[in-house]
Amino acid sequence: MAQVFLFDCDAMLSQASGEPTIDRSQLPGVLWSGDTLFPRIPETIDMLRSKGKQLVFVTNNSTKSRADYKKKFDKMGITAQEEEVFGSSYSAAIYISRILKLQPPKNKVYVLGETGVEQELQSENVRYCGGTDKSLLRDITPEDYTSIANGSALDDEVGVVLTGLDFHPSYLKYSLGMAYLNRGAKFLATNIDSSLPSAGSLFPGAGATTAPLITATGKQPLALGKPSQAMMDAIEGKFQFDRKKACMIGDRLNTDIQFGIEGKLGGTLCVLTGVSKKEEFLDEGAQVVPSAYVDQLGDLLG
């Protein structure tokens, strides 16, 4: 039996018998949907903790930091510690500070993303620019074209462009990112999920808000979220667990389940209330097949 459960942060749904039937076709993969917690999630978490299981909440959502997620868990009445959250922003910040070890004069990161990325870079003492800087949320001007082209608008200390899910993209922000990349900056992404599940539908994900730079430069980013094994190595390094006694639980085959399989974990559990459907892995020749699957996480409660 697994000792460690790595949970995707939007893949837990359970439904007590007698609860109003949740139309799961309307709610992609859910610990919660927006601010609506689904029934029996706290009990499921508490049951696992009562059995001495170690829990790690592993999310590709780079818009929130570990502290932000801790606030969300508290608000939802779920027992969780900030240190149990491991998001793609934190994974990227660790990679930059402990693996890349940027040295002056090129030790600043140009961010195309939200506050979660900024907070986690700060937690690792990595300097950055861009991100939520509101002065970049404007139309590009003729002067911008000139100053970007001749480099005077660029920060000479930028050595990395880091993209994440960006709710505030702008042509000006992309133009700066393209200029840094074309001048040799390393290209990193917190994650490249194609879509963001929310409110019963799918919206542009981090991969979609990163795509303009890929197209414009012809370069591919190194992604530091699921299924990247740099993230798995960082999680194993922090929590020191036996991979063979760990299980990854998630709703998305090409991130969560692939992450667990490539990480050679003891098992993977696909929750069918999310983005992926069982037909995708039951089909002959399916590339990514979980060890097991459940309709909803609450099935673990029996």
Ligand X SMILES: O=C(O)[C@H](O)[C@H](O)COP(=O)(O)O
Binding site as annotated, residues for Mg(2+): 251
Which contacts of 67-76 are long-range, i.e. CB under 8 A and separated by 24 or more positions? 67/119, 68/115, 68/116, 68/119, 69/9, 72/32, 75/35, 76/31, 76/32, 76/35, 76/37, 76/41, 76/42
d(CA 252, CA 11): 9
- DSSP class of residue 221 equals P
Q: Is 10 in the site for Mg ion (CB under 5 A)?
A: yes
In this chain, which of 2, 4, 6, 10 binds ligand X, going by CB under 6 A? 10
Q: Is 276 in the site for ligand X (CB under 6 A)?
A: no
In this chain, which of 6, 22, 161, 206 binds ligand X, going by CB under 6 A? 206
Q: Is 9 in the site for ligand X (CB under 6 A)?
A: yes
Which residues, 6 or more positions from 153, have their beta carbon under 8 angstroms from its beta carbon? 144, 147, 176, 179
The binding site for substrate consists of: 226
Nearer to Mg ion, 8 or 118 (CB): 8
Shortest reach from residue 252's CB to Mg ion, in Å: 5
**Binds 147: which of ligand X, Mg ion, none (CB < 5-8 Å by kind):** none
Q: Please report, in angstroms and rounded to a whole number, the separation of the first and last CA atoms in the chain.
A: 15
* Footprint of ligand X on 155-174 (CB under 6 A): 165
Which residues, 6 or more positions from 45, have their beta carbon under 8 angstroms from its beta carbon? 55, 78, 79, 80
Q: Is 193 in the site for ligand X (CB under 6 A)?
A: yes
Q: Is 196 in the site for ligand X (CB under 6 A)?
A: yes
In this chain, which of 8, 84, 118, 120 binds ligand X, going by CB under 6 A? 8
Nearer to Mg ion, 10 or 114 (CB): 10
Shortest reach from residue 241's CB to ligand X, in Å: 19
Shortest reach from residue 101's CB to Mg ion, in Å: 31
Binding mask 32-71 for ligand X (x = CB under 6 A): ---------------------------xxxx---------
The residue among 64, 66, 63 whose CA lies nearest residue 80 is 66
**Single-letter code of the amino acid located at 44:** T
- The residue count for binding ligand X (CB under 6 A) is 14
Nearer to Mg ion, 94 or 253 (CB): 253
Q: Is 114 in the site for ligand X (CB under 6 A)?
A: no
d(CA 73, CA 56): 13
Q: Is 193 in the site for Mg ion (CB under 5 A)?
A: no
* Footprint of ligand X on 69-108 (CB under 6 A): none
d(CA 44, CA 12): 9
Shortest reach from residue 259's CB to Mg ion, in Å: 11
CA angle 173, 63, 144 (to 5 degrees): 10
Which residues, 6 or more positions from 133, have their beta carbon under 8 angstroms from its beta carbon? none
- Determine if residue 170 is left, alpha or beta; phi over 0 gives left, psi from -120 to 50 gives alpha, anything else beta: beta
In this chain, which of 8, 68, 118, 193 binds Mg ion, going by CB under 5 A? 8
Cα torsion for 229, 268, 66, 277, to the nearest 10°?
110
Nearer to Mg ion, 84 or 251 (CB): 251
Residues at the interface with ligand X (CB under 6 A): 8-10, 59-62, 165, 191, 193, 195-196, 205-206
